[in-house]
Amino acid sequence: MNHTKKLVLVGNGMAGIRTLEHLLKIAPGAYDITVFGAEPHPNYNRIMLSSVLAGGAGLQDIVINDWNWYEENHIRLYTGDPVIAIDTDKQQVRSRSGVCVAYDLLLLATGSNAFILPLPGADKDGVIGFRDIHDCEMMMETAKAYKKAAVIGGGLLGLEAARGLLNLGMDVTVIHIHEQIMDRQLDEAASSMLRRELEEQGMTFLVNKRTAAITGRRRVEGLKFADGSGLEADLVVMAVGIMPDIELAVSAGIPVNRGIIVNDYMETGIPGIYAVGECAEHRGITYGLVAPLYEQGGVLAQRLAGIEAPGYRGSVTSTKLKISGVEVFSAGCYQDEPGTRSLRYQDELDGVYKKIVIKDEQLIGAVLFGDTSDGAKLFSLIKSGESVTGREKELLLGFNPGQSETSGSLVLEQMPDDEIVCGCNGVSKGAIGEAVAAGCRSLAEIKACTKASASCGGCKPLVEGLLQLYAGAETGEPVKEGICGCTTLDRDAIIDGIREMGLKSVKEVMHVLGWDEPEGCSKCRPALNYYLGMLWPLDYVDEKESRFTNERYHANIQKDGTYSVVPRIYGGVTSPADLKKIAAVAEKYNVPLVKFTGGQRLDLLGVKKEDLPGIWSELNMPSGHAYGKTLRTVKTCVGNTFCRFGTQDAMGMGIRLEKAFERLNAPSKVKLAVSGCPRNCAEATIKDLGVVAIDGGWGIYVGGNGGIKVRAAELLCTVKTEDEVMEWTGAYLQYYREQADWNERTAHWVERVGLESIKQALASDETRKQLVGRIEEALSTATDPWREIIEDREQLKNFVQLPELIQ
């Protein structure tokens, strides 16, 4: 009888699970696998925590292997239940909840912990590290109630934490013990350029500062430095380094030093027990970057599968930082030392700095700032150790396809198949080749198949180079269609960039995302203005100069240069008082024409530009926004208030909808209608959203259009109450706001994405509530320029012969 060996993995992080991924590929079914994780989450990408903190991603976006992956691979998973004891004699582990599992082979991947400086006051509330989802959640919660944050440590992790806290609206000061930030990764020139850039983004730096104590009572109130100075702070993030988590190994008697000591095959000092990742110490070195951990996992997987292969020899490491448009790369030995030669290129105007270091004809180090596209290729040369004699300047200035295509291809050809190309997702060169062999012919297909370049995007140039190498002439043409001629970025890329990097102005978006035309154009500026307002409703200040003339003057310009003014008339229902007011204003300003519109309103045509402020002031009515990409009208029939065929109160429903969503900025104009019965006198089924009364309920129709290309609306859902109409309408409009392209009407959007996908997106009660919450947040900041909105009850009192609407 065959006995399947029992493999227990302690640690559900990137290194341990990566080992299992390799093992499952090369020896499926060889082990009965159990995994214990300390966190209550599936395996996720810790590298992307800074994106979570910055608001550019949620937990679902950084999950590497979801719950289904464990089930599909027959892996028993215990989350939120760390192992607290190992019995090496009985070969079993025990978790905090009391679960005992026997093992034949044990793999320790316990990772590391944030190093908390042993300062007086370090145990106060508000002092945390930056290592996991819980830390991110704590920072996000703190930012809601407090404003002053201090980050101790000006290295890679500290700067990413600081950028995220800035995006959360906190005032952030970075304290660094040395003169240069990121001094372990950058030389003086690159460090200075990085600091200047981050200071322009709002970050404050205190360098050459040694923290002596954390002040406050129960909660942190500030920092005291060794020189006697101090700093107020409501939150202190320790980002001064990590310590391998070896507590479990120590208690089990497994030999340790700084980390768990392992040999070239990741074996510890006790037979049958292995260690991999940040907790492991190999040849006196512990690693905190993902690429070495993946290399270790690959070696260990082969060992566990019984495959004879070379052991792990250690890693040459590289570092990449990408925050709010700042790209930094460093690898190898980048400082000038005896016996080395270095070449530098610096462009202060464009913010680009490059440096390569050469020793004995070999590239041994590189630093790139501002333009890191060649980072992966330089890193490959550093690791290969090949001669670069005669190519030094070419390497410094970048691979020019017209001059050095051969050398660039040669570097890619000489890369070993097991070399990691995408460090974020652990994708090797060989995996890219396999994807191309399976039919992938574009970057998008490679990304979907392997996840390469799907996280930080830093490996994109290398992935594109490998795609060209493997696919050759069959490589698909990259899509370079942007939202306008000023950029090659499409709508999704722009929104992702704004969200991930916390961009808060039109000019900042164009600068950081590399607009070809620095001032933009009439097509992209209004789009960016909308996207920023949609993403940051509470923070973004609308840029009037990025709006069209009509929207700036709150009136429609006509062919003769005059304007038309349309006050809002809710649901097409008005009062004698408002009619008299409109008539008086029209007479006083000699308005040539007053016309009823198709949306049941009055249009004052032929108004002179200089009369606009006076007209709006004397009307003292909200604008009907007949000019804007917003809610235009809500057309209604009289419904059951008067009509013998009416089944519901169409006027009341229409007024409620219009009052709820007026002033809502949208990708394009939005028109609504409410019909009191299926006879549909308000033409609700050719509107962006139409509500049609039926016996005992309402039908909600979406995606209609009565313009040049008539399109009948489609039934989204049927509901029973007016409150449900409001909920579904709010959720639908917000989903349209978040997903549609700028200037895309709902009719075109529904056709493009399909009604079924919209139905699925809105099917969940929780999702609809979240969407409604976001649209209410956006509306809470919207104001009418001419008057405050009249309360519903006050407005309805003016309606004659409609007493039932007052209730």
What pLDDT does 250 receive?
97
Query: Is there a contact between 225 and 213 (Cβ–Cβ < 8 Å)?
Result: no
The domain boundary, picked from 287, 304, 321, lies at 304
Q: What is the CATH number of the domain that holds 59?
A: 3.50.50.60
Looking at the fold, whether 149 and 79 belong to one and the same domain comes out as: no
DSSP element (H, E) containing 693: strand 689-694
Question: Which is nearest to 733 in space by CA: 642, 803, 676, 669?
Answer: 669
Looking at the fold, whether 582 and 529 belong to one and the same domain comes out as: no
Higher pLDDT, 685 or 472: 685
Question: Which is nearest to 330 in space by CA: 322, 449, 130?
Answer: 322
Looking at the fold, whether 215 and 272 belong to one and the same domain comes out as: no
* Residues near 803 by beta carbon (within 8 Å), at least 6 away in sequence: none
CA neighbours closer than 13 Å in the CB half-sphere of residue 10: 33
pLDDT in tens, 88-126: 999 999 999 999 999 999 999 999 998 899 999 999 999
> Using 50, 70 and 90 to split pLDDT, how confident is the model at 437?
confident
The domain boundary, picked from 289, 304, 319, lies at 304
CA neighbours closer than 13 Å in the CB half-sphere of residue 43: 26
The domain boundary, picked from 547, 578, 611, lies at 547
What value does the mean pLDDT take over residues 710-732? 94
Count structural domains, the chain: 4
What is the C-alpha separation between 225 and 150, in angstroms, rounded? 13
Looking at the fold, whether 686 and 579 belong to one and the same domain comes out as: yes
DSSP element (H, E) containing 635: strand 631-636
Q: Is residue 654 in some structural domain?
A: yes
What pLDDT does 324 receive?
54
What is the C-alpha separation between 347 and 363, in angstroms, rounded? 22
What is the C-alpha separation between 100 and 90, in angstroms, rounded? 11
What pLDDT does 126 receive?
95
What pLDDT does 597 receive?
83
The strand pair at 362-369 and 326-332 is best described as antiparallel
Of 7-21, 73-87, 465-479, 561-575, the range with the lowest mean pLDDT is 465-479
Q: Would you say residue 179 has pLDDT above 70?
A: yes
Task: List residues bridging with 362 in a β-sheet.
Answer: 359, 387
Query: Is there a contact between 410 and 384 (Cβ–Cβ < 8 Å)?
Result: no
Looking at the fold, whether 154 and 61 belong to one and the same domain comes out as: no
> Using 50, 70 and 90 to split pLDDT, how confident is the model at 475?
confident
What pLDDT does 400 receive?
45
Looking at the fold, whether 543 and 556 belong to one and the same domain comes out as: no
Query: Is there a contact between 8 and 93 (Cβ–Cβ < 8 Å)?
Result: yes
> Percent of the chain, pLDDT > 70?
90
Quote the tokens at residue 355. 């440096």
Per-chain mean pLDDT for the chain = 86
Task: List residues bridging with 484 in a β-sheet.
Answer: 487
Of 412-426, 685-699, 728-742, the range with the lowest mean pLDDT is 412-426
pLDDT in tens, 261-286: 999 999 999 999 999 999 999 999 99
What pLDDT does 321 receive?
66
Q: Would you say residue 355 has pLDDT above 90?
A: yes
**DSSP conformation letters of 220-289:** EEEEEETTS-EEE-SEEEE-S-EEE--HHHHHTT--BSSSEEE-TT-B-SSTTEEE-STTEEETTB---S
Higher pLDDT, 696 or 547: 696
Q: Is residue 369 in some structural domain?
A: no
* Residues near 532 by beta carbon (within 8 Å), at least 6 away in sequence: 498, 503, 504, 505, 506, 509, 540
pLDDT in tens, 380-428: 788 888 888 888 888 887 644 344 444 455 567 767 777 777 766 778 8
> Using 50, 70 and 90 to split pLDDT, how confident is the model at 740?
very high
Q: At what angle do helices 443-450 and 460-471 cross, to 10 degrees?
A: 110
pLDDT in tens, 277-335: 999 999 999 998 888 898 899 999 999 999 998 999 998 777 776 665 578 888 888 88
Q: Is residue 79 in some structural domain?
A: yes
Of 172-181, 350-359, 443-452, 731-740, the range with the lowest mean pLDDT is 443-452
What pLDDT does 208 receive?
94
Looking at the fold, whether 9 and 105 belong to one and the same domain comes out as: yes
Strand 341-347's sheet: what is its strand order?
Answer: 318-323, 326-332, 362-369, 352-359, 341-347
> Using 50, 70 and 90 to split pLDDT, how confident is the model at 346?
confident
Task: List residues bridging with 55 in a β-sheet.
Answer: none
Q: Is residue 446 in some structural domain?
A: no
Looking at the fold, whether 538 and 598 belong to one and the same domain comes out as: no
Question: Which is nearest to 633 in space by CA: 575, 673, 664?
Answer: 673
3-class DSSP assignment, residue 593 = strand
What is the C-alpha separation between 333 and 330, in angstroms, rounded? 9
Q: What is the CATH number of the domain that holds 622?
A: 3.30.413.10
Q: Would you say residue 738 has pLDDT above 80?
A: yes
What pLDDT does 413 receive?
73
Quote the tokens at residue 90. 């009985």
What pLDDT does 727 receive?
96
Domain encompassing residue 495: 491-547
Q: Which range is most confident: 243-252, 499-508, 708-717?
A: 243-252
Q: Would you say residue 788 has pLDDT above 60?
A: no
What value does the mean pLDDT take over residues 639-661? 91
What is the C-alpha separation between 325 and 571, in angstroms, rounded? 46
DSSP element (H, E) containing 606: strand 602-607
What value does the mean pLDDT take over residues 438-452? 80
Q: Would you say residue 476 has pLDDT above 70?
A: no
What is the C-alpha separation between 620 and 513, in angstroms, rounded? 42
Looking at the fold, whether 573 and 518 belong to one and the same domain comes out as: no
What is the C-alpha separation between 664 and 533, in angstroms, rounded? 11
Q: Is residue 197 in some structural domain?
A: yes
Quote the tokens at residue 567. 């006050």
What pLDDT does 804 receive?
31
Quote the tokens at residue 63. 């999950």
3-class DSSP assignment, residue 793 = helix
What is the chain's percent helix, strand, coil content, to nearest 5?
Answer: 35, 25, 40
Q: Is residue 457 in some structural domain?
A: no
DSSP element (H, E) containing 422: strand 420-422
What is the C-alpha separation between 176 and 204, in angstroms, rounded? 11
Looking at the fold, whether 170 and 255 belong to one and the same domain comes out as: no
DSSP element (H, E) containing 435: helix 429-437
What is the C-alpha separation between 654 and 252, in angstroms, rounded? 71
Looking at the fold, whether 566 and 535 belong to one and the same domain comes out as: no
Q: Is residue 267 in some structural domain?
A: yes
Looking at the fold, whether 581 and 725 belong to one and the same domain comes out as: yes
What pLDDT does 255 receive?
97
> In degrees rounded to 5, what are phi and psi of residue 284?
80, 5
What pLDDT does 51 receive?
73
DSSP element (H, E) containing 723: helix 722-739
Of 35-44, 372-381, 456-465, 789-798, the range with the lowest mean pLDDT is 789-798
Q: Is residue 638 in some structural domain?
A: yes
pLDDT in tens, 584-635: 999 999 988 898 888 888 888 888 888 888 888 888 888 888 878 889 999 9
> Using 50, 70 and 90 to split pLDDT, how confident is the model at 35?
very high
**DSSP conformation letters of 318-375:** EEEEEETTEEEEEEE--S--TT-EEEEEEETTTTEEEEEEEETTEEEEEEEES--TTH
What pLDDT does 568 receive?
87
Query: Is there a contact between 48 and 59 (Cβ–Cβ < 8 Å)?
Result: no
Q: Which range is most confident: 101-105, 391-395, 449-453, 791-795?
A: 101-105
